[in-house]
C-alpha cells in the first residue's frame, strides 16, 4: 500500500529499511529537508510529509516504480538477525540488493549503501558477514550510479 503526499521541489530520497532504527532516525531528521519515500517490508511509522510504501525490496517491479525520479537511495534494508536461516539472508540481502540496484541504474543519481562493522572490524566467517560482503561487491559491479558506502557505528 502506498500513501501519497504532495510533490515538492526538494531532492527526492528513497530510504529502504525505513522501519528499522537507523531508517526511523534518518526519516525524522530529514523530513523537513527532503522529499522522502520510505520503504520497508514491515509497517512504517508515519513521518510528516513522507510517502510510505510497505513493499519487499525483492519485488523488482515495485523497486523500478519507486526509483523513478529519485535523486538518492539510502539503502538500509537488511536481514541482520544472525539466527535467521541462510536462505533468508540470501533472499533479502542478495536478491533484494540486486533488485534495488538494477532499479536505481538510470533512475537515481547516487546510492548510499549501509555496511556493517562485522565486515571491517570483526571479519569472522559467519553467514551474515559473507552475504553482506557479497552484497557490497555486487553493489560495485551492478550499479552505474556512484555507490557511497558507510558503516554504521551504533
pLDDT of 59 reads: 95
Cell of 131: 552475504
137 within some domain: yes
Q: Which domain holds residue 108?
A: 12-151
pLDDT for residue 137: 74
In 46-132, DSSP assigns E strands to 51-54, 72-75, 110-115
What sign for the dihedral angle of Cα 88, 129, 108, 14? positive
Q: How many residues does the chain have?
A: 154
Task: Please give the pLDDT value at position 92.
Answer: 75
Mean pLDDT in consecutive groups of 10 residues from the start of the chain, 154 residues:
60 95 94 96 94 95 95 85 62 83 85 67 65 73 55 39
Predicted pLDDT at 42:
94
What is the count of structural domains for the chain? 1
* Residue 1 domain flag: no
What are the φ and ψ backbone dihedral angles of 29, each rounded to 5 degrees?
A: -75, -30
CATH of the domain at 144: 3.40.50.720
Amino acid at each position: 500500500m502506498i500513501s501519497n503526499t504532495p510533490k515538492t521541489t526538494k531532492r527526492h530520497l528513497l530510504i529502504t529499511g525505513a522501519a528499522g532504527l537507523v531508517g526511523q532516525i534518518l526519516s525524522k531528521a530529514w523530513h523537513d529537508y527532503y522529499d522522502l519515500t520510505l520503504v520497508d517490508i514491515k509497517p512504517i511509522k508515519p513521518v510528516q510529509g513522507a510517502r510510505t510504501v510497505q513493499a519487499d525490496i525483492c519485488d523488482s517491479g515495485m523497486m523500478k516504480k519507486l526509483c523513478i525520479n529519485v535523486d538518492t537511495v539510502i539503502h538500509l534494508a537488511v536481514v541482520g538477525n544472525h539466527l535467521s536461516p541462510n536462505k533468508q539472508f540470501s533472499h533479502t540481502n542478495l536478491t533484494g540488493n540486486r533488485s534495488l540496484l538494477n532499479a536505481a541504474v538510470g533512475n537515481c543519481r547516487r546510492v548510499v549503501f549501509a555496511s556493517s562493522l562485522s565486515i571491517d572490524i570483526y571479519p569472522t566467517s559467519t553467514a551474515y558477514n559473507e552475504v553482506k560482503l557479497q552484497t557490497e561487491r555486487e553493489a560495485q559491479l551492478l550499479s552505474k550510479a556512484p555507490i557511497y558506502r558507510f558503516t554504521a557505528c551504533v
